[in-house]
Amino acid sequence: ATSVAGVENTPSERSFIALKPDAIQRGLIADIVGRLERKGFKLVAMKLLTPSKELVEKHYEDLKDRPFYPGLVAYMAQGPVLAMVWQGPGVVKTVRQMLGATNPAQAPSGSIRSDFFLVTGRNGIHASDAHASAEAEIALWFKPSELVDWKRDADQWILSAN
Ligand code: UDP
Ligand code: MG
């Protein structure tokens, strides 16, 4: 049975991951989401939305003094964006590694940004860079009731420590 919960009953680490409008427009959802799914991380929330300018501004608040900020906000606020929460041991760090560098030209081959994108300004995917930012971003993009607490039978084959 699927129940709904916020933070309780989800002891494992979570990250906020979003496909940006270029990834959606280019039909890359299945290719990119499939990599996260096949790795073994567990999908906890997912929604397609066109974010408000205010939401994007808050999400990228740390970058507000950078010259590319207005263009970045306009790019993201065009939407649609596929907003997700993924869970699993080491998810924050591992997904950042799966993305590769911010500039796709500097991302290692085999990484998502290297394999699907060409330039920093259209790099297709966001992932939280630390536990604290992950929790802040999850709270910014999702209501607690949108996080699905579900038991995955495959966990016995994915997560067992022995
Ligand atoms: N960005 C950009 N130009 C830059 C640096 C960043 O357009 O020179 C955009 C790019 O979409 C990037 C986002 O701003 O993904 C956030 O920048 P950050 O440095 O946080 O990179 P990320 O965490 O996404 O790798
Ligand atoms: Mg960042």
Fold topology of 3-158: Alpha-Beta Plaits (3.30.70)
- Helix, strand and coil in the chain, % to nearest 5: 45, 15, 40
Residue 88: which region, alpha, beta or left (left: phi > 0; alpha: psi -120 to 50)?
Answer: left
Task: Quickly state the pLDDT bin for 57 (edges 50, 70, 90).
Answer: very high
Q: What are the Cα distances from residue 70, in Å, to 24, 28, 139, 147, 162?
A: 21, 25, 23, 30, 49
Decide: helix, strand or coil at residue 117. coil
Pocket test of ligand 1: the residue of 64, 78, 102, 117 to mutate, having most ligand atoms within 8 Å of its CB, is 102
pLDDT tens digits for range 95-133? 999 999 999 999 999 999 999 999 999 999 999 999 999
